[in-house]
Chain A
Amino acid sequence: METNGNTQDTPTQPEWRAVKAYGDTLNDGAMQFSFCLPVPAGRQAEEAAKLLLAKMGMTDPLITSIEPMGPELTFFVAYARCPHSVDYAAIEIPLSSFPVMDMHGVDAFIETNFGHSITVLGACIGTDAHTVGIDAIMNMKGYDGHYGLERYRMVNAVNLGAQVPIEHLVARARELQADALLVSQIVTQKNAHVTNMTQLVELLEAEGLREQVVLIAGGPRISHQLATELGFDAGFGPGTYAEDVASFVVFEMQRRASSV
């Protein structure tokens, strides 16, 4: 999710009313494409690629590469102009306004506001065996120079690892009285992540635990919008570090405590 919460006062420039793609000249609408078509390479294939671009609303299509990948498979690189524009200034993004603190800031915040350490459970749920994401957030070393939650003095971070059954995660959440659950979903084939996430929300609600935990999803195809639609409190995509998640968790915990 977006974490730069203080950009609500977006300045508006006149040209932001009609923003077009930018190739080498402002408002030229230039875009690049690459795709395959299951047809033999040749003039007919080239025409098919151009037609497809035209149907997408593109103009001036230029096929710059047409390569046979097999008897009936052709790879294209293409350029075209997109006549459409968007009203950038009118776009409203529901930014949750919390500043991102560093590790020490989060620890100090917890100490000041809660007076005791908090428990965060992490897991790859369902059949997902890819722990890269959850490890980046949880592991002591963290990722890319950003320490993981295990290093936080005021966070009791428990990483349950890969392929954790939803029932097991919920049982552990109850047992450890978790304050937050972090769920990683990397495998998204056939929308497995949607099924898993929905089931988790349903089970937490059935067990009466949903209100007691800050529920967060993460993964390369997870957006804040998708996560909140599925009943999570937040979703974090690529480029997220432990402090982004930790900051959200502690502000959300404080918000809940003060709204009671």
Chain B
Amino acid sequence: MQIPLDIALIGECRQLARSVVAPVLAYIETHSTVSVERAALRVLGVDGVDKEGVPWPNRMVDALVAANRVSCGSLYWLSGACLSQGMSVQAGAEWLAIAGCRPDFDWDALVVEPARREAWAIEQVQQALQTLKGARDARQAFRERLGDAPTPWRYLIVATGNIFEDVPQAVAAARQGADIIAVIRATAQSLLDYVPYGTTAEGSGGTFATAANFRLLRSALDQVSEELGRYVQATNYASGLCMPEISVLAAQEGLDMLLNDALYGILFRDINLYRTLTDQYFSRMVNGFAGITINTGEDNYLTTADAIEAGHTVLSSQFINERFAEAAGIARAQMGLGHAFEIDPRRPDGFLDELAMAQLVRQIFPEHPLKYMPPTKHITGNIFKSYAHQTMYNLATVMTRQHICLLGILTEAIHTPFVADRYLALQNLNYVQNFSGGLMAEFSLQPDGHIARRANQVLQEAHAQLAHIHAVGLVAALGEGCFADVKRTPDGGKGLTGVFEKGEAYFNPVWTALEAHAISGTGV
């Protein structure tokens, strides 16, 4: 099934997205955030927490902020500490975190010759990035040996709040047929300005994203992948105030995917827009380097806005997300752009509108592992009706060859899924795929039919919206509520105090190396 589309108009949309993103990239080049600085420390291996449980990366960056020294960057001072004190990276960070809080601390004693600093940086950063690359290559080899499941990949969620309960549920879901396991994150975590440490057994609405929790899940999934002879992927959330750090931890622990959207935190978590835009860039450079597939969150727009009226906002946001990702060095094959099956089920021929949208996105982003989200907004407590609704979603998934299929759960809107709910969800998709996989090869589309007309209408509306966003600028457009009917102002939201302008002496060799990788698309 191919919809006749205006190829020139698609090209113009990409060009507009490029122009919309360009001034933001210029802003990002001259700014950093506390979470970017902590992430840079984490890349070099700074880890662990103090006696109160505060992560050392936070302690050290907080000390720099308190002393008004952060504009040089955390690695400027860490390199100085390590060189002048003859310390390891970890010891240097801890020492600086503590000593740097003293009012009489001699910061000038940490200033070293640029040549020594460069030499230190080359050694440290090369080593750290080689380690990450080695882990990536090893995982890639493991994955290739076992082989990926055919698409659509079955994406299932576990969310008990307790990693020790999540892991057996994840393994059970994998054995039942899941190809991707997402551990839903504790709802409060997006607004924490630190990453919790260690394994966690308590979390509301989900489980805390921590390096130790990532490790436990990935290791259990490695085992079950061997058992099944099929690679099972793990995903988590690089969103919120700690986007860059989560990406680093995910890269270090071998996660395969991350929810990682350029705008989601701004719109749905009310995080300051400059904070998120800067954070997403560094975060995505890490993801690009580590080979992590990102998932974007445009599906969320349709939980607040109407899926027919606002269908085009999903598409224009996908163009913007694509451009931000591309600028950060993410390959198209790593861009899981998000969209959703959220049209009111009572709409006559609504299924045709769903097919139009799903196929439109498929054709415009042919190399991208699209992430398709099931209906939630119009799901009620009638589980039998919901199951029918999810069947139609699965049919659209199969007909339009979506890549990542988040399985629709018949008890959506009632409770976190029961084990049987996941089993039934898999059964549903397996049935639809097996029973109708060849369907679309048998049909050609009416060139001026309902589906083609709707798809072209959405494309034209997206083009018009991108032209408007380009005219007023992304920041002003966010203020107008261009996405999800949510309005955000440049000085509003959480985390703005953590954004700073890079000083003249700003030194971040991790950023530099990742950016070089992003631009060249080659290794370190």
Contacts and interface: CB of A to CB of B under 8 A. Distances in A.
B241 to A, nearest CB: 12
A238 B380 contact: yes
A36 B420 contact: yes
A131 B187 contact: no
Interface stretch (B254-262, B311-319, B410-418, B446-454): B410-418
Contact of A141 (B186, B376, B416, B485): B485
A69 interface: yes
Contacts of B190: 129
A161 B381 CA distance: 24
A188 to B, nearest CB: 8
A67 B427 CA distance: 11
Interface in A48-96: 67, 69-71, 73, 75
A113 interface: no
Nearest to A34: B420
Contacts of A220: 381, 413-414
Interface residues of B, number: 32
A190 interface: yes
A70 B176 contact: yes
B154 to A, nearest CB: 15
Interface of A: 34-36, 67, 69-71, 73, 75, 127-129, 131-132, 135, 139-141, 144, 161-163, 187, 189-190, 192, 220, 238-239
B193 interface: no
Nearest to A141: B306
Most buried by A among B306, B344, B423: B423
Contacts of B187: 127-129, 163, 187
Given A128-B187, A238-B413, A190 B172 contact: no
A69 B176 contact: yes
Contacts of B172: 69-70, 73
Contacts of B423: 67, 69, 75
Contacts of A144: 344
B122 interface: no
Contact of B304 (A131, A187, A192, A239): A131
B270 A187 contact: no
Interface string B381-421: 10000000000000000000000000000000110101110
Contacts of A135: 304
A189 B188 CA distance: 13
Interface string B165-202: 00000001001100000000011101100000000000
A162 B303 CA distance: 14
Given A36-B418, A69-B419, A161 B176 contact: no
B512 interface: no
B95 to A, nearest CB: 35
Interface in B20-75: none
A189 B306 contact: no
Nearest to B204: A192
B377 interface: yes
A127 B204 contact: yes
B205 interface: yes
Nearest to B175: A70
- The majority secondary structure among interface residues of chain B is loop
Contacts of B164: none
Contacts of A67: 423
A260 to B, nearest CB: 39
B233 to A, nearest CB: 20
B329 interface: no
A141 B377 CA distance: 14
Contacts of B204: 127, 187, 189-190, 192
B107 interface: no
B352 to A, nearest CB: 21
Minimum-distance CB pairs A-B, first 7: A127-B188, A187-B205, A127-B187, A69-B423, A36-B420, A75-B420, A70-B172
B268 interface: yes
B336 interface: no
A70 B68 CA distance: 57
B161 interface: yes
A163 B188 contact: yes
A36 B344 CA distance: 32
Given A189-B205, A220-B413, A163 B306 contact: no
12 contacts: A36-B418, A70-B172, A70-B176, A75-B424, A128-B187, A129-B205, A129-B268, A132-B376, A162-B269, A163-B188, A163-B270, A220-B413
Given A69-B419, A69-B420, A139-B485, A129 B304 contact: no
Contacts of B205: 127-129, 187, 189, 192
Contacts of A189: 161, 204-205, 416
Nearest to A161: B270
A144 B380 CA distance: 13
Given A141-B485, A187-B205, A132 B268 contact: no
Most buried by B among A36, A163, A220: A163
A128 B204 CA distance: 9
Contacts of A141: 305-306, 485
B160 to A, nearest CB: 9
Contact of A162 (B186, B270, B381, B416): B270
B193 to A, nearest CB: 14
B303 A132 contact: yes
Nearest to A192: B204
Given A36-B419, A187-B205, A163 B304 contact: no
Contacts of A35: 420
Nearest to B310: A141
Given A69-B420, A75-B420, A238-B380, A132 B304 contact: yes
Contacts of A129: 187, 190, 205, 268-269
B67 to A, nearest CB: 30
A128 B186 CA distance: 10
A221 to B, nearest CB: 8
Nearest to B240: A129
